[in-house]
Amino acid sequence: MVNEPTVTKFNELKLNAMAESYRNQLLDPAFRDLSFEERFGLIIDTEWSRRQNNKLTRLIRKSEFSLNDACIENIEYHADRKLDKPQVTRLSTCNYIQEKHNIIILGASGAGKTYRHMETIRVKNHSRSKKL
């Protein structure tokens, strides 16, 4: 019982995530208990999330960083790297940027300085895209 003309119009308007969400809601009986506003809100949230994720992916790809996959979860805390995990976690919040503080990252070759920098830029781009 999918309303194909509506789905087609969503797609023509380039609202593909909304079309997919609308189709899923029509096919899933669990959504029938929700009000119009709740269902519509879910459809809008799906489209917004998809656009934000696409924007972040595009920014990362466009940045041409050598380490596009850098993220805080992938840091390896080996003893020889002498990384302070609580300090790295604090830095990952990027609060120092909002507070207008500078940081200097020192370490031996292979300690992960460039990786840390790329991860910071990724986090900052992600938080910036959420504010829009």
Q: How much is the pLDDT for 48?
A: 93
State whether residue 61 is helix, strand or coil: helix
Model's pTM, two decimal places?
A: 0.55
Q: Please, are residues 99 and 129 in contact by the beta-carbon 8 Å criterion?
A: no
Single-letter residue type at 34: L
Single-letter residue type at 115: Y
CA dihedral 96, 126, 116, 66 (to 10 degrees): -140
What pLDDT tens digit does each residue of the chain (132 aa) get?
A: 568 888 899 999 999 999 999 999 989 999 989 999 999 999 999 999 999 989 878 877 787 766 656 666 777 777 877 778 888 788 778 787 788 888 777 777 766 667 666 666 666 666 654 544
- Beta strand residue intervals within the chain, DSSP E: none
Give how far Cα 90 sits from Cα of 29, 84, 120, 121, Å: 44, 10, 11, 15
